[in-house]
Amino acid sequence: MQNKPQLSFWQIWNMSFGFLGIQFGWGLQLANMSPIYKYLGAEEANLPYLWLAGPMTGLLIQPIVGAMSDRTWTRLGRRRPYFLIGAILASISLILMPNSSALWMAAGLLWILDASINITMEPFRAFVADNLPEEQRTLGFVMQSFFIGVGQTLANALPFILTALGVVGIMQSGIPYSTLIAFIVGALFFLIAVLWTVFTSNEYPPEDMEAFRAKQREGNVVNSIFREIVEAVKDMPTTMKQLAVVQFFTWFALPCMWQFYGLTVAQTVFGAVDEKTNPELFKQGTEWGGLSFAVYNVVCFLIAFAIPWLANSTSRKTVHFICLTLGGLGLISTAFASNPYFLWVGMAGVGVAWASILSMPYVLLAGAIRPERMGVYMGVFNLFIVIPQIVMSFLIPQIYDGLLGGKPLNVVILGGISLLLAAASVFIVKDVGQMKLESDEEIAVPSGTVVGGVDL
């Protein structure tokens, strides 16, 4: 076991900076894909099917990339080659997306975009766990939450800002020029931010290089990787199984918001029947939905660095429970929005939840798994993110016109209820990493030790 030294604030900043670009790409997708699909002729009830690219590529790619990166060592290290390859492919897809001339083209490009983002993003989680000692991991994952908030804020607000600056007009497909320019800017942000992390960060080499090289030379690498994934699932730590319940309700809720919130704002607050009957109101409403997403991301990065202090003052589980509860109530409050600005109150609650969702589950998980299997388990953990999204994608179209009354608002409310269920299930989780820290503190806590980013 390597005795990892504590890193400085700026070293942790550099190793997390790539998340700014990744989340700029995600943010553009989350706020704009449903409107893009609608402009290209999609039916509302079928939107979840068209969004399947994200969870399906995550299901297929993240565990494989995690296991592969565990076996990789190059001049760029273990995780960074995947950052670079994914960033290049994702940037190209972002440029092509708003130029889609047909629904099938946009749906196909989303599969390529999401696959590329997953190649880049999965190793980032393991990268933090690889490089930081246990007492700094909360700060490391919270730093990622900060950049996620910043990146998605910029992405969500950009089309609205471009329109306010005078960018007008639409392409032949009906997609606004403001969306086109935003995606081009996002492609540049994505690549530059990931390159920053690649060239300003280092990685620890394998402890036993000879054994590592022998593992690399195994005959059938593909079979070995799949066998490793299967073994990881069979040997899954108890904490990981418990977190699976929390993650299911959390990640069922989030696509309910991402896919239907902009449409909800356009219909219930701005009064647009649809994109054809009231095109200007629909554009204003969906852009305001994106701006509201920016609000929750602003709250996310403002509160991100308070989370280590709160977790240290109470517990990681308590913080996650409170944050998820605020998020659920925030989504439900959309039903009471009488004007556009009231929406921001609910989005503030979602922002608090989002900051915790992006950090606390990974902190809870990292303390319960062995370092040499960090990559594969971070990949397997992604199953608990993508499976609930897949369930949502197949369930919502079946109940949309019936149980949900054909209203986007009711999908958003269902997401809020699901977040409250996620909050309630936090209490079944056993925080092994916190128990280790408390055990160490009972023996001795040197003056000046940093726990979760807070000086003791």
The owner of tokens 């299911």 is 248
Note whether 49 and 363 are within 8 A (CB): no
> What's the CA gap between 384 and 350, in Å, rounded?
20
Q: What is the pLDDT of residue 443?
A: 32
CA–CA separation, 73 and 79 (whole Å): 8
Averaged over 94-103, what is the pLDDT? 92
The pLDDT, as a whole number, for residue 225 is: 67
The alpha helices in 132-237, defined as continuous H runs, are 134-164, 177-200, 209-216, 221-234
Superfamily of domain 9-203+222-441: MFS general substrate transporter like domains (1.20.1250.20)
- The pLDDT of residue 206 is 66
What is the pLDDT at residue 57? 85
Least confident range from 85-89, 132-136, 183-187, 296-300: namely 132-136
User: Which position has the higher pLDDT, 39 or 359?
Assistant: 39
Neighbours of 261 (CB within 10 A): 30
Residue 297 has pLDDT above 60, yes or no: yes
3 state DSSP class of 81? helix
Q: Is 274 helix (H, G, I), strand (E, B) or coil?
A: coil
**pTM of this prediction?**
0.76
Tell me whether strands 454-455 and 450-451 are parallel, antiparallel or unpaired: antiparallel
Residue 434: pLDDT band with limits 50, 70, 90: low
Every domain of the chain and the residues it spans: 9-203+222-441
Report d(CA 117, CA 147) in Å as an integer. 15
> Given this model, what pLDDT does residue 412 score?
97
Q: Which of 137-151, 343-357, 361-375 has the lowest mean pLDDT?
A: 361-375
- Please give the pLDDT value at position 216: 59
Interhelix angle 18-39/103-131, nearest 10 degrees: 160
Mean pLDDT (whole number) for 182-200: 92
Average pLDDT over residues 12-38: 89
3-state class (DSSP) for residue 401:
coil
Length of the chain, please?
Answer: 456
Beta partners for residue 454, in sequence order: 451
- For 392-403, the pLDDT digits (tens) are 999 999 999 999
Whether the predicted pLDDT of 245 surpasses 70: yes
Contacts of 316 (CB under 8 A, 6+ apart): 138, 360, 363, 364, 431, 434
pLDDT value at residue 452? 28
Averaged pLDDT for residues 2-21: 83
Query: Of the given ranges (32-36, 60-64, 94-98), which has the lowest mean pLDDT?
Result: 60-64
Give the chain's mean pLDDT.
83
Minimum mean pLDDT range among 46-60, 176-190, 209-223, 336-350: 209-223
Query: Which of 38-47, 72-81, 105-114, 406-415 is predicted with the least confidence, judged by mean pLDDT?
Result: 72-81
311 or 378, higher pLDDT? 311
Is the pLDDT at 346 greater than 50? The verdict is yes
Residue 408 has pLDDT above 90, yes or no: yes
Tokens 């092509």 -> residue: 96
First and final C-alpha spacing in the chain: 26
Read off the pLDDT of each residue in 184-199 and give the average, rounded to a whole number. Answer: 92
The pLDDT, as a whole number, for residue 214 is 64
Top mean-pLDDT range of 19-33, 54-68, 198-212, 372-386: 19-33
Per-residue pLDDT of 267-278, as tens digits, reads 998 888 777 778
Distance CA 133, CA 449 (A): 12
Residue 181 is predicted with a pLDDT of 95
What pLDDT is stored for residue 213 in this prediction? 65
Confidence of residue 313 (pLDDT cuts 50, 70, 90): confident
Per-residue pLDDT for 447 more than 60?
A: no
Instruction: Report the pLDDT averaged over residues 292-315.
Output: 84
